[in-house]
């Protein structure tokens, strides 16, 4: 996936002038790149102060907590030098010399040049300091031995900067830089191997994220986004939905709200151009056709709950009532036989503050039992998808328990 060739002098300085808003825009280069890198999503807890850290990351070997990256000198990065900040993003090594775990996407940020990283530092240092130390990490032996990351980095971390591909257009190169570098899309959308490194042979093929599934976003027409028009991808990235193609929820919804919707339309288009050129990965959940399954209309509990609660926003024909954001037809979410993102959305909701009220999805975790949510999920899967999926009450209970801990 990473573009490295010998044309080091190609488009000299183009990245620094094309990946952020123009000088006349209200957003500075540093703020723009901080948005593009989606820093706030990982460095804030619900209801907390932006960039103050403390967010828990549940990993196979324990829990990590994001650090405070405000300019507070005691608990944040206020005493960090330029070189220390650059090393953190390019090498995954903190001020104290300790190695970070790849939950921090330095394996992608390493593609960013020093000037872009220092622009981010400049913006972060312009913010109000917040005195807040994160909780101690809960990592057991031997995974708490950070020195071992030296060997991991030697194998899996490149520590190389992005180099434009002379065979591609400036637009493609800009999109490649944003997707691979600050946008770090592969960190969520690429499966990981047993060493928790991104599987380069399956780049952008999709991966599990807790209760959520990050879908295949490669150029494959059936399993990825190869059949999506560029304007649909731009709509999805900027608004969180593309009617008949996809709707962003969970971690992706957060990425849209905190990061992607702030990017220039030209940058979003460049990302779409690049994504549609990536190697096709024929795996994951296929996008369903727009045909509704009338056999699912059997007046059971699932349909009753849908008619009572859901039909006000999601109509039986798969279209959205008040907004196209409520459309269900053509979405992978309704074609996953396990209903992973569907159940997660029902339990957690989706209420981005930037969206209109009629585009927000409330959570139903406290309103309905596991059996009821399983029934309505199964109805949605069979009415709007073609996987003949079924969700059981124990599936919802497992998802619910995971979301609460």
Termini Cα distance of the chain: 35
* Residue (of 143, 159, 253) closest to 196 by Cα position: 143
Strands 62-65 and 241-242: unpaired
What residue numbers does the annotated binding site cover?
Answer: 39, 42-43, 185, 188-189, 310, 313-314
**Eight-class DSSP state of 364:** -
3-state SS, 136-203, equals CCEECCCCCCHHHHHHHHHHHCCCCCCCCCCCCCHHHHHHHHHHHCCCCCHHHHCCECCCCCECHHHC
* Cα three-residue angle 35-64-249, rounded to 5 degrees: 50
Distance of alpha carbon 233 from alpha carbon 106, whole angstroms: 26
Quick one: which of 244, 229, 221 has its CA closest to 325? 244
Between 265-275 and 230-239, two packed helices, what is the crossing angle to 10 degrees? 120
* CA 75/CA 56 separation, integer angstroms: 17
Inter-residue contact 372 to 378 (CB < 8 Å): no
Distance (Å, rounded) from C-alpha 58 to C-alpha 60?
7
Residue 372 has phi, psi (to 5 degrees) of -70, -45
Token pair 């324990």 in the structure block, residue: 62
Contacts of 357 (CB under 8 A, 6+ apart): none
Instruction: Take residue 78 and report the two structure tokens written for it.
Output: 């206020």
| Helix then strand then coil, % of the chain, to nearest 5 | 40, 5, 55
Mutual angle of helices 265-275 and 170-180, in 10-degree steps? 90
Binding annotation for heme c: 39, 42-43, 185, 188-189, 310, 313-314
Q: Quick count: other Cβ atoms within 10 Å of Cβ 300?
A: 14
């Amino acid at each position: 996936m990473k573009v490295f060739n010998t044309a080091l002098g190609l488009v000299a300085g183009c990245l620094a002038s094309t990946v952020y808003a123009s000088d006349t825009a209200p957003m500075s280069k540093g703020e723009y790149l901080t948005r593009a890198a989606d820093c706030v999503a990982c460095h804030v807890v619900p209801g907390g102060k932006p960039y103050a850290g403390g967010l828990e990351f549940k990993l196979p070997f324990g829990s990590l907590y994001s650090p405070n990256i405000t300019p507070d000198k005691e608990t944040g990065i206020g005493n960090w030098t330029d070189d220390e900040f650059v090393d953190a993003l390019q090498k995954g090594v903190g001020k104290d010399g300790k190695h970070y775990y790849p939950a921090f996407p330095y394996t992608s940020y390493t593609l960013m040049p020093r000037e872009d990283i220092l622009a981010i530092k400049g913006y972060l240092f312009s913010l109000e300091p917040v005195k807040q130390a994160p909780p101690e990490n809960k990592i057991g032996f031997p995974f708490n031995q950070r020195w071992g990351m030296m060997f991991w980095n030697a194998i899996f971390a490149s520590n190389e900067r992005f180099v434009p591909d002379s065979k591609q257009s400036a637009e493609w190169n800009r999109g490649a830089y944003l997707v691979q570098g600050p946008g770090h899309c592969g960190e969520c959308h690429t499966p990981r191997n047993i060493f928790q490194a991104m599987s380069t042979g399956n780049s952008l093929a999709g991966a599990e994220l807790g209760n959520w599934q990050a879908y295949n976003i490669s150029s494959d027409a059936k399993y990825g986004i190869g059949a999506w028009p560029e304007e649909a991808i731009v709509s999805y990235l900027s608004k969180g939905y593309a009617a008949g193609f996809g709707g962003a929820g969970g971690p992706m919804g957060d990425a849209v709200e905190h990061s992607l919707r702030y990017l220039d339309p030209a940058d979003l288009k460049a990302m779409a151009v690049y994504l549609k050129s990536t190697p096709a990965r024929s795996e994951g959940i296929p996008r369903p056709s727009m045909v509704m399954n009338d056999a699912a209309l059997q007046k059971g509990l699932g349909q009753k709950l849908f008619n009572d609660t859901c039909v006000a926003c999601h109509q039986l024909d798969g279209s959205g009532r008040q907004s196209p954001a409520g459309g269900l037809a053509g979405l992978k979410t309704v074609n996953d036989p396990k209903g992973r993102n569907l159940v997660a959305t029902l339990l957690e909701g989706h209420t981005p503050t930037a969206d209109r009220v009629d585009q927000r999805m409330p959570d139903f975790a406290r309103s309905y039992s596991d059996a009821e949510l399983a029934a309505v999920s199964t109805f949605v899967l069979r009415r709007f998808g073609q996987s003949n999926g079924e969700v059981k009450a124990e599936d919802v209970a497992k998802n619910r328990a995971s979301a609460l801990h």
